[in-house]
Amino acid sequence: MARTYFGTDGIRGRTNEGVMTAETAMKVGQAAGTHFLRGGHKHRVVIGKDTRLSGYMVESALVAGFTSVGMDVIMTGPLPTPAIALLTREMRADLGVMISASHNPFEDNGIKLFGPDGYKLSDEAEMAIETLMTQQPLLVSPERIGRARRIDDASGRYIHAVKQSVASDVRFDGLKVVVDCANGAAYKVAPSAIWELGAQVIAMGVEPNGTNINRDVGSTSLDAIKARVVEEGAHIGIALDGDADRLIVIDEKGNTVDGDQIMGLIATRLKERGDLRGGGVVATVMSNLGLERYLASQGLTLERTRVGDRYVLERMRQGGFNVGGEQSGHMILSDYGTTGDGTVAALRVLASVVRFGKPASELLHVFDPVPQLLKNVRYSGGKPLENESVKAVIVEAEKELEGKGRLVIRPSGTEPVIRVMAEGDDARQVETVVDRICDAVREAA
């Protein structure tokens, strides 16, 4: 059955258009609430959000949906996605909901669902909810309508939890850290957690107004934090995205450190302590070949999945891994949480900086990445990748890179775009291959 609402990471779209309307949100609340009404206990759902203006609208509609089918609602206000996963488990809730479109602009919003175990829902559970959304909701009698309340201590609970990821003998005294919260969900909790561990914190992207989330700040707009790190003479910069499940680091020279280098560092440190599980790291097809070669030199494996942190997590759970993530900055450290957590990953990086006393530019240059190039081709309709001429060009490119690099071509899951990525030891060859495929796709489209 084709999906109407759920994509690769919950439901997402432009607010008040398509799938992202108040009507849809109420249907989600009614359907998801009905799906998780199991057993005779009093049922509850935890709802969090980022700082988008539309969050109020979506939250209110969800509350109406959940309470109408008999679920109690606990609202936390703005909190990171991993905090909602954590609180869902801690509060013995039947379901968790995060209202966020992650790194997208404020005009978009989304709905992510977590089960009672704090993990994102399976494809099967999402399809079951979609089916219920097409049916008449099972409204309860007036005396069984759910209650809604807002809790005030959610931020403190999350800050306490993330600090437990750092050993009790480690303090960040003497570290000057720029923390960019993207005017998003972590604008209070991330700077507070790092400050409480002793660092001097220079916070930016902490003045949300409903429309400035991810605008020229955060992990997808790095120019501002790069300049600030150098200007302040900071030891390191921490850049989060709108819902704070993603981390990009800036070293003291203003250079970008992506998720591949961060995974390499964390995995190496855990291996040295005997705490790395699964014999390696789980990442996606987009991670750099240099990471794979580096891990192999350490006797570790790199297992690749399709793009999407949910697929990384699925493989981690299957294989017993405790480190996984994406080059784009999703860091999943399963010893400390059930989903990507940019703040926890940042604390692990800062702890390594303190323990080894090395500058970030040295500590976080774990391996030399091979030349990698990604280009996007937008198309208006059809299926360009099924065109015979495009297939022929791809086959030729794969032969050319065989043994020297990799080729990854995939349609976007959220927009009409074909993503063409190649990497290899010869930068010129990589560029030629990508351009040739992009031209073929454009022609076919």
**pLDDT at residue 414 above 70?**
no
Does residue 363 form part of some domain?
Answer: no
Q: Which residue, chain included where needed, has tokens 């996007």?
A: 376
Whether 135 and 193 map to the same domain: the answer is no
pLDDT in tens, 259-292: 999 999 999 999 999 999 999 999 999 999 999 9
| pLDDT grade for 8, boundaries at 50, 70 and 90 | confident
**pLDDT at residue 190 above 80?**
yes
Whether 15 and 117 map to the same domain: the answer is yes
Closest CA to 80 of 414, 339, 350, 348: 339
Structure tokens at 111: 């709905």
Does residue 364 form part of some domain?
Answer: no
Domain boundary among 153, 177, 206: 153
CATH number at residue 407: 3.30.310.50
Whether 240 and 264 map to the same domain: the answer is no
Strand partners, 97: 47, 113
Q: What is the pTM of this model?
A: 0.92
Does residue 414 form part of some domain?
Answer: yes
pLDDT in tens, 315-351: 999 999 999 999 999 999 999 999 999 999 999 999 9
Residues across the chain:
445
Domain boundary among 200, 220, 255: 255
Domain boundary among 153, 181, 207: 153
pLDDT in tens, 62-75: 999 999 999 999 99
Does residue 351 form part of some domain?
Answer: no
Does residue 76 form part of some domain?
Answer: yes
| pLDDT grade for 1, boundaries at 50, 70 and 90 | low
Query: From residue 428, how far is each of 154, 174, 412, 437 by CA, in Å?
Result: 51, 43, 26, 15
Does residue 208 form part of some domain?
Answer: yes
Whether 199 and 272 map to the same domain: the answer is no
Whether 202 and 326 map to the same domain: the answer is no
| pLDDT grade for 383, boundaries at 50, 70 and 90 | confident
Whether 167 and 132 map to the same domain: the answer is no
Q: What is the mean pLDDT of the chain?
A: 95
Question: What percent of the chain shows pLDDT beyond 90?
Answer: 92
**pLDDT at residue 372 above 70?**
yes
Q: Which domain holds residue 330?
A: 257-341
Does residue 235 form part of some domain?
Answer: yes
Q: Are 83 and 113 in contact (CB under 8 A)?
A: no
Largest CA distance in the chain: 70
CATH number at residue 76: 3.40.120.10
Whether 297 and 337 map to the same domain: the answer is yes
Going by their DSSP bridges, the two strands 200-204 and 176-180 should be labelled as parallel
Check if 102 is active-site: yes
Per-residue pLDDT, averaged over 139-146, amounts to 96
Whether 19 and 113 map to the same domain: the answer is yes
Instruction: Count up the domains in the chain and report the number.
Output: 4
Whether 42 and 148 map to the same domain: the answer is yes
List 54, 68, 100, 102, catalytic entry: 102
Does residue 350 form part of some domain?
Answer: no
